[in-house]
Amino acid sequence: AIKPLKNRPSEFSGYVTVRGAREHNLKNIDLSIPRDALVVFTGVSGSGKSSLAFGTLYAEAQRRYLESVSPYARRLFHQMAVPEVDAIEGLPPAVALQQQRGTPTTRSSVGSVSTLSNLVRMLYSRAGDYPPGQPIIYAEAFSPNTAEGACPQCHGLGRIYEVTERSMVPDDSLTIRERAIAAWPTAWGGQNQRDILVTLGYDVDKPWRELSQKDRDWILFTDEQPRVPVYPGYTPEQTKRALKRKEEPNYMGTFSSARRHVFHTFANTNSPLMKKRVMQFMLSTDCPNCQGKRLRPESLAVKFAGYDITELSRLPLKTVATILKPFADGTATGHEKQEAEHPEQTIVAQRIAEDLVARIQVLLDLGLGYLSLERSTPTLSPGELQRLRLATQLYSHLFGVVYVLDEPSAGLHPSDTLALLSALEGLKKAGNSLFIVEHNLDVIRHADWLVDVGPEAGEKGGQILYSGPPEGLQKVKASQTASYLFGQTETPVRKRRRPAGWLRLSGVSRNNLHDIEATFPLGVFTTVTGVSGSGKSSLVSQVLVELVAEHLGHVITIEEEEGAELERAAPLHTAGHIREGMESIKRLVRVDQKPIGRTPRSNMATYTGLFDHVRKLFADTPMAKARRYDAGRFSFNVAKGRCENCLGEGFVMVELLFLPSVYAPCPVCHGARYNAKTLEVTYRDKNIADVLSMTVDAAWKFFDEEPQVYRALTVLREVGLGYLRLGQPATELSGGEAQRIKLATELQKAQRGNTLYILDEPTTGLHPADVEKLLAQLDKLVEAGNTVIVVEHTMRVVAGSDWVIDIGPGAGEEGGKIVVAGTPEEVAKSDKSKTAPFLQQLLH
Ligand code: ADP
Ligand code: ADP
Ligand code: ZN
Ligand code: ZN
């Protein structure tokens, strides 16, 4: 269905040449790739595509740019990456649009990232309808983030935070000593406040509810901060006597009411964890002054097309474009009258509206029309964020740069892929080069030039198998990409399994889902499809997960990015219940692409539990026994065995005077992480550091006589991670790798059945050959009596599933319904489903 948009250029305007690239696993490679063309890097996961595109080409462009700016400016950037490469010639400046792994650091919205908000504010300032007599206000006054614009009561937050006695003292039968005041800090901080109250003469041993209301209010809400002598460890009687005798106190302590503590911590702490903790004691309501709209009344009084600026910012972009179009082309109702009365305002409105409509159109083309300007970026998927930034680039009119992109098709339904391709085409036409790491076959087919990296992952990859126009790849035997691209690999026809039962949800509401029913088959492999923004994640990753977890009595840990926390302070409207099917579900497991740890202290060996067994093996060696070393000695997180210079990190931070600090291998242990004594202990001639630097494949051979370790390693190999080193820090792993480690950890557990597995786009970052491996594992889970539900865009996966639930038909408010559900064959026949035509192609 997806055809090339335009013939490939017959000649390229020039080439980028790379000599001797050795970053990560790259094998000293030489390469020439065209400029002003769409170049796609392919290869199995871990083969070295990113090491080449991002780690070498982009890093070098970045380094040259930084070298050209002053040392002062350079200091503002983080550590300068210096790629391992002999020479690169012909490289234009580069812009990377990488999928963000981990937390976006700044609080931003669709409007601010796309810079559309600036234009909208200008529109309101210069061309809005003001109430009679109100003077024109500046564009800044339409932003809640400025002093001119922010609602004075809520300071632009839109919500008012309060604490009440109930919220801070959940159990009033407890005494203060028993921590009735839950909002106070735990540990020492709380004891300190209690001891201060003792000095102040409050009864800390009476149940809270028996204290007088006056005392309770003072303790919880006062703004006073008396400073008093503190005698920790004294009883109230002893304290009284000590005070009378004016005995030298242990220290002087400052009282802080519970409210003060909560608000002060909330406003000042840098720790997301602390913030989270105090937030549980705060109640929030819409600000009564601005009704949650965050702006001062004068700003909200200005309307455009009948909407105030907040109302407009909450509409889907698609609707905003429809509202603005008549103003852009001069067909708005009352246009002539308006033009006669306020000619200047009309012209300004038309200019800005034109510009806005054109810019929004790019976002609509990229399938993002369901987003609103106000939507905060932490709630977007990485793929959506990347496309948003891509759209912003499209009208920034840069030329002569290389855009380096990481899987721009992630999260895109096949029906949206053509729009993506035409957006990329637009950047190319403007005179730019595109270097793209991609797995989607439709995008790969569209490339002007392919660079296939392989043949396998890690040490067995890092070579250029092919570099040239796509059709030439067909002849390359070693390429795993070739067989998928040229149709030599058939879509496997699977025997469809029959559902063992049904999980029925009704009254489901969330985001764009309004009171719908949804039925998921049990004991089979289900894929949930639909265009981006149709409601797949809302249904599966949000509502289904929450309802099932609630039923099972799990406490749902909100793992969301910390930035989303505040944005989410407004309660989500979730409704729905499970009508039947829970009898056969005993466990819920989500396998997502979130990192397995945020510090280099966690790695695959620790996460999977495999390292525990390895440490025991070392503790069981004769030398360890003779020296009385236990398993803890072989942990790099424990003082006994680790290198004390780097505290087991293996590297140290070196502060440079005028340059950013850099990490260097620890000079004492040379990166081994352990102290010399520990490293003397060997198991089959290898010390513990040697083991951590083995790849899974090597360790699998090494530990073939140790069933538990061997089993864990076998599963890791089966999910395609044989190339990873056991000790590779969690921070170096990609989302796809983290996900497969989680899956492997799950698979090595004894299979009990009756578990519901939920995965959201597990194929992101995976080469078709890796997808095959993933599917084999998911199949095993189903065979063992479990249920697997996956949100998915890759049609090969959908075609191979037992059951398909297609959501849509469109995005945002045009979606949110179940269009069709059934076997892939049944769904393919639907004339309403946007998925059907793509599925049909694979099923004939
Ligand atoms: P791909 O993009 O093809 O999936 P990568 O370029 O990310 O592959 O990885 C190639 C190899 O380099 C893999 O073995 C990977 O584990 C390793 N690698 C990736 N990032 C790092 C890093 N920061 N430090 C060390 N090794 C890395
Ligand atoms: P899909 O998974 O099919 O791409 P989603 O379930 O993520 O779709 O989104 C469905 C609709 O709900 C979209 O209109 C989207 O903008 C909206 N939406 C999703 N998450 C949020 C959120 N956290 N806040 C506000 N709107 C959201
Ligand atoms: Zn307000
Ligand atoms: Zn060290």
Q: Whose CA is nearest to atom 16 of ligand 2?
A: 371
CATH number at residue 459: 3.40.50.300
**Residue partners of 259: CB distance under 8 A and separation at least 6:** 163, 168, 183, 220, 221
- Ligand closest in space to the Cα of 411: 2
Buried b (16+ CB within 10 A) or exposed e, 700-738: bebbeebebbbebbbbbbbbbbbbbbbbbbbbebbbbbb
> Could you list which residues have their CB under 5 Å from ion ligand 3?
151, 153-154, 287, 289-290
Ligand 3 centre from 156 Cα, in Å? 6
Report yes or no on 286 lying in a domain: no
Cα(344) to ligand 2 centroid in Å equals 39
534 lines ligand 2 (CB under 6 A): yes
Q: Is 47 touching ligand 1 by the criterion CB < 6 Å?
A: yes
Cβ–ligand 1 contact at 439 (below 6 Å): no
Do 588 and 609 fall into the same domain? no
In a domain, 287, yes or no: no
Can you name the residues that pair with 654 across neighbouring β-strands? 662
Q: Same domain for 555 and 574?
A: yes
Least confident of 6-10, 138-142, 195-199, 484-488: 6-10
Closest ligand to C-alpha of residue 678 is: 4
Quote the ligand 3 centre to 293 CA distance (angstroms). 7
pLDDT in tens, 752-794: 789 999 998 888 888 998 888 888 889 989 999 999 999 999 9
Task: Check residue 490 and give its pLDDT.
Answer: 67
Q: What is the pLDDT of residues 105-146, one digit of tens each?
A: 456 899 998 999 999 999 999 999 999 999 999 999 999 989
Which one has a higher pLDDT value, 285 or 9? 285
Atom of ligand 1 nearest to the CA of 462: 10
4 is a domain residue: no
Ligand 2: does its nearest atom lie under 6 Å from the Cβ of 370?
Answer: yes
Does residue 109 line the site of ligand 2, with CB under 6 A?
no
Q: Are residues 265 and 219 in the same domain?
A: yes
To test ligand 2's pocket by mutation, which of 538, 541, 543, 819 has the most ligand atoms within 8 angstroms of CB? 538
Q: Which whole number is the average pLDDT over 401-411?
A: 89
Question: Are the C-beta atoms of residues 834 and 536 closer than 8 Å to each other?
Answer: no
Residue located nearest, by CA, to atom 12 of ligand 2: 511
Mark which of 281, 308, 341 sits at the end of a domain. Answer: 281
Distance 84 CA to ligand 1 centre (A): 13
pLDDT band at 560 (very low <50, low <70, confident <90, very high): very low
Residues 396 and 424 in one domain: yes
Are residues 173 and 275 both part of a single domain? yes
Asked if 614 and 537 sit in the same domain, the reply is no
Between 581-585, 716-720, 834-838, the lowest mean confidence (pLDDT) is in 716-720
What spacing in Å lies between the alpha carbon of 697 and ligand 4's midpoint? 26
Nearest CA to ligand 1 atom 10: 48
Q: Indicate whether 6 belongs to any domain.
A: no
Do 615 and 548 share a domain, yes or no?
no
Is residue 149 in a domain?
Answer: no
pLDDT of residue 274: 82
Q: Is there a single domain that holds both residue 178 and residue 247? A: yes
Instruction: Clarify whether residues 187 and 273 are in a common domain.
Output: yes
> CA torsion 185→550→809→306, rounded to 10°?
-40
Question: Residue 660: what pLDDT?
Answer: 47
Atom of ligand 2 nearest to the CA of 371: 16
Query: How does the average pLDDT of the chain come out, rounded?
Result: 88
| CATH number of the domain encompassing residue 712 | 1.20.1580.10
Nearest CA to ligand 2 atom 18: 511
Ligand 4 geometric centre to CA of 675 (Å)? 7
**Ligand 1 lined by 762 (C-beta under 6 Å):** no
pLDDT score for 47:
92
Q: What spacing in Å lies between the alpha carbon of 108 and ligand 3's midpoint?
A: 19
What gap in Å lies between CA 706 and CA 696, rounded to an integer?
14
Reply yes or no on whether the pLDDT at 559 is more than 50: no
23-27, 278-282, 335-339, 403-407: lowest mean pLDDT where? 335-339
- What is the span of the domain harbouring residue 648? 604-732
Residue 180 pLDDT more than 50?
yes
Q: 535: Cβ below 6 Å to ligand 2?
A: yes
Tell me: do 714 and 757 sit in the same domain: no
The predicted pLDDT at position 727 comes to 92
Q: Are residues 575 and 621 in the same domain?
A: no
Final residue of a domain: which of 681, 703, 732?
A: 732
**Residue 496: inside a domain, yes or no?**
no
pLDDT of residue 600: 75
- Which domain CATH number covers 207? 1.10.8.280
Ligand 1 contacts CB of residue 727 (under 6 A): no
Worst-scoring range by mean pLDDT, 69-83, 156-170, 187-201, 628-642? Answer: 69-83
Instruction: State how far the Cα of 316 lies from the Cα of 370, in Å rounded to an integer.
Output: 5
Check residue 267 and give its pLDDT: 84
Cα of 574 to ligand 2 centre, how many Å?
13
CA of 381 to the centre of ligand 2 (A): 9
Report if residue 2 sits inside a domain: no
pLDDT of the residue at 568:
37
3-state secondary structure 791-832: ECCCHHHHHCCCEEEEEECCCHHHCCEEEEEECHHHHHCCCC
Q: How many domains does the chain contain in total?
A: 4
Q: What SS3 class is residue 294?
A: coil
- Residue 339: pLDDT band with limits 50, 70, 90: confident
3-state helix, strand, coil in the chain (%, to 5): 40, 20, 40
Name the pLDDT band for 95 (thresholds 50, 70, 90).
Answer: confident
- How confident is residue 569, by pLDDT bands cut at 50, 70 and 90? very low
Quote the ligand 2 centre to 311 CA distance (angstroms): 18
What pLDDT, in 10s, does the model give residues 49-80?
999 999 999 988 888 877 776 565 555 454 45
- Pocket-testing residue among 40, 50, 51, 726, ligand 1, by greatest number of atoms within 8 A of Cβ: 51
Residue 313 lies in a domain: no
Q: Return the ligand 2 atom nearest residue 564 CA.
A: 23
Ligand nearest to the CA of 160: 3
Measured CA to CA in angstroms, residue 249 lies from 58, 158, 226, 235, 243 at distances of 62, 46, 15, 14, 9
Give the distance (Å) from ligand 1 centre to CA of residue 612: 26
| pLDDT (tens digit per residue) in 16-27 | 999 999 998 999
> How many Å lie between the centroid of ligand 2 and the Cα of residue 534?
7
Is the predicted pLDDT of residue 372 greater than 90, yes or no?
Answer: yes
| pLDDT, tens only, 628-684 | 999 999 999 888 999 999 899 888 776 555 544 556 778 899 889 999 999 999 999
User: Confidence band (pLDDT; 50, 70, 90) for 563?
Assistant: very low
| ipTM attached to this prediction | 0.94
The residue among 678, 703, 732 that closes a domain is 732
Per-residue pLDDT tens over the stretch 690-700: 999 999 999 99
Same domain flag for 631 and 583: no
Q: Please state, in angstroms and rounded to a whole number, the distance separating the CA atoms of residues 763 and 835.
A: 17
Ligand located closest to 817 CA: 2
